[in-house]
Amino acid sequence: MKRFIPVLILLLPSLFQAQSVLINSSFEGTPQDATMPVGWFGCQEGTTPDILPGFWGVYTEASEGETYVGLITREDGTFESIGQRLSAPLKAAECYELTLDLALSKTYTGYNNPLKIRVWGGSGKCGKQQLLAESDVINHADWKTYSFSFSPTTTVNYITIEAFYKEGRFSYKGNILVDFIRPIDVCDRAYLD
C-alpha cells in the first residue's frame, strides 16, 4: 500500500491534464449586443459578438444554460472571431476531440445567411498557426452538436473560433450561433485503434 500511494500521486496530474477546459464555455452573461463574453477576447478587427437571445431579432433559446454567442460576417469581407487561452496546452501529435453546439438564426436583422465555423490553434493570443476544425455550412435553426477530432502539429496554447463564409463567397451578411463547448479531451482509445 505504501508504494501505491506515491505512484498514484505522481499519476494524478497527468490524469487531469488530459482535458483542456475553457472559461465560460457556454457563453453565459447578460444578453447584450456588441459585447465580449467573459473569459473571451476578440481576434479580428471589428469583432463585436452578441450575447443572445434578445437582440437583433434573435430569440432562439440556448442549447445549454441561459445565453450563447452570435458571430457574423459582413458584405465588406470582414468576419468576427473570438479566442481564449486553454487551461492546458494541446500537445503535438496527440489526438483531441472538440464538441460544441451550432445553429443559424434566420432572423438576425439582415445577417441571415448561413456560415461555417473554423477553429484555429496557436501558440499566442489569436494565433492561427493551424486549422484544427472546420464545420460544414450551418443552415439549421435548431441546435445540433458537432464533434471534431484533430491532432495538432505543434503545441497549442490558444484557440480562436471564427465565423466564416461558405466556399467561393467571401462577402455577404451571415451569422452563426455557438453554445456549450465541452472540455477538449484526448480522443477515445477506440478512435485511435
Alpha helices of the chain — where are they, by DSSP H? 4-16, 189-192
Task: Give percent above pLDDT 70 in the chain.
Answer: 88
Average pLDDT along the chain: 90
Residue 16 confidence (pLDDT) above 90: no
Per-residue pLDDT for 139 more than 50?
yes
On whether the CB atoms of residues 91 and 136 are closer than 8 A, the answer is no
Cell 496557436, residue located: 122
Answer with the residue of higher pLDDT: 77 or 10. 77
Cis before 31 (ω within 30): no
* 58 Cβ neighbours under 8 A, 6+ residues apart: 50, 52, 70, 105, 107, 108, 175, 177
Give mean pLDDT, residues 9-22. Answer: 58
Q: Mean of the pLDDT values across residues 97-113?
A: 97
- Sorted by sequence, the CB contacts under 8 Å of residue 32 that are 6+ apart come out as 50, 51, 55
Domain ranges of the chain: 20-192
Amino acid type, 23: I
For position 163, what pLDDT does the model report?
97
pLDDT for the residue 72: 97
Fold type of domain 20-192: Jelly Rolls (2.60.120)
**DSSP readout, 93-147?**
T--EEEEEEEE--TTSTT--EEBEEEEEEESSTT--SEEEEEPPPB--SS-EEEE
Q: Please, are residues 79 and 43 in contact by the beta-carbon 8 Å criterion? A: no
| Model confidence at 152: pLDDT above 90 | yes
